[in-house]
């Protein structure tokens, strides 16, 4: 069998639990790198196996995990507005997997389709994606297939496409149509980032699975989902904040330590302000906070959601976005 040259993933819902053992350890050993499970639908449906599924995926060492929301047409069968559906979804995630917000590799999926009982318009999915990004800061992908919507999907959210071909029952590697398959063709002004290419594949010990592909390496997918290597970014930020002596001229700091030259000058100015604060602290009378206490306070402030929101709002204001 040829090696798997793409990054493979599996998605599931409560309906998959009677098809096999849902052994996600076996799936990881078989090459799976990302996994999502349905959490809610509309404002009244919750999938009971969501927590168990994500717990198993985490224990198995799945590189990327996610949850998905099936959006319903507001008013259809009593379902609420799209904002209400997003709130219902996030509340369920918080109650079942409270750790999801702190995992950089955790992403969110919005699912819109033409169901026999509700032909959901793609604009509702795009609205849900925008709300989720704004409320969580997570990477959000929109499952909205070409066969349902063609070129009518609004927005610029990354798309999760589906195209099964003959949909054979076989191991997932054998079924993958290839990186150059027409199933990857652009639609709605963008090229899909994920492709669901079969629903009868075998993954690990589980038959009849939805198999998905990302055309790239695990590291490349990590960059997509997290915005980069979070460990390296954290290390770089800590070096800037704490490894540089307070009395060192910010202008003497090598540009090589910055994420981008585009933000080099603003960061230098920020360090200059930090140095000013440090000078004022140094002038305080004996008995005032020690350097260790100051460092601890700064670290605590960096983790404060209000501080992070303030930084985000400031950046957004300069970019003229809301």
pLDDT band at 272 (very low <50, low <70, confident <90, very high): low
> pTM of the prediction?
0.71
Q: What does the pLDDT look like over 151-195, one tens digit per residue? A: 999 999 999 999 999 999 999 999 999 999 999 999 999 999 999
Provide mean pLDDT across the span 97-113. Answer: 97
Q: Can you say how many angstroms the Cα of residue 126 is from the centroid of all Cα atoms in its chain?
A: 16
pLDDT band at 275 (very low <50, low <70, confident <90, very high): low
Q: Can you say how many angstroms the Cα of residue 254 is from the centroid of all Cα atoms in its chain?
A: 32
Q: What angle do CA 31, 36, 40 make, to 5 degrees?
A: 165
Domain ranges of the chain: 7-226, 231-319
Strands, E, within the chain: which ranges? Answer: 7-12, 32-41, 45-46, 64-70, 106-111, 114-115, 118-119, 140-143, 159-162, 194-203, 206-214
Q: What does the pLDDT look like over 124-133, one tens digit per residue? A: 999 999 999 9
Q: In this predicted structure, what is the pLDDT of residue 89?
A: 98
Q: Report the CATH number of the 7-226 domain.
A: 3.20.20.80
Which range is least confidently modeled, 6-15, 97-106, 273-282, 305-314?
273-282
* Whether pLDDT at 322 is above 70: no
């Amino acid at each position: 069998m040829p090696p798997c040259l793409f990054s493979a993933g599996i998605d599931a819902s409560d309906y998959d639990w009677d098809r096999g053992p849902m052994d996600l350890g076996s799936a990881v050993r078989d090459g799976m790198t990302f996994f999502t499970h349905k959490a809610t639908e509309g404002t009244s449906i919750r999938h009971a196996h969501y927590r168990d599924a994500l717990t198993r995926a985490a224990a198995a060492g799945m590189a990327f995990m996610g949850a998905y929301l099936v959006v319903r047409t507001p008013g259809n069968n009593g379902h609420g507005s799209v904002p209400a559906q997003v709130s219902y979804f996030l509340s369920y995630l918080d109650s079942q997997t409270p750790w999801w917000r702190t995992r950089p590799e955790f992403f969110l999926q919005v699912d819109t389709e033409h169901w026999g009982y509700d032909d959901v318009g793609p604009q509702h999915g795009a609205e849900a994606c925008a709300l989720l990004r704004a409320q969580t800061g997570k990477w959000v992908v929109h499952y909205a297939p070409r066969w349902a919507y063609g070129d009518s999907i609004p927005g610029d959210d990354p798309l999760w496409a589906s195209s099964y071909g003959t949909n054979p029952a076989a191991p997932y590697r054998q079924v993958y149509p290839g990186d150059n398959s027409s199933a990857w063709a652009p639609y709605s002004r963008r090229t899909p980032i994920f492709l669901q290419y079969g629903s009868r594949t075998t993954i690990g010990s589980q038959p009849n699975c939805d198999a998905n592909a990302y055309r790239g390496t695990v590291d490349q997918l990590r960059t997509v989902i997290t915005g980069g290597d979070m460990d390296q970014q954290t290390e770089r930020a800590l070096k800037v904040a704490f490894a540089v002596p307070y009395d060192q001229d910010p202008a003497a700091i090598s540009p090589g330590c910055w994420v981008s030259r585009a933000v080099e000058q603003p960061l230098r100015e920020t360090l200059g302000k930090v140095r000013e604060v440090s000078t004022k602290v140094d002038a305080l009378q004996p008995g005032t906070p020690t350097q260790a206490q100051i460092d601890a306070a700064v670290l605590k402030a960096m983790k404060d959601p209000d501080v992070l929101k303030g930084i985000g709002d400031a950046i957004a204001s300069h970019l003229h976005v809301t």
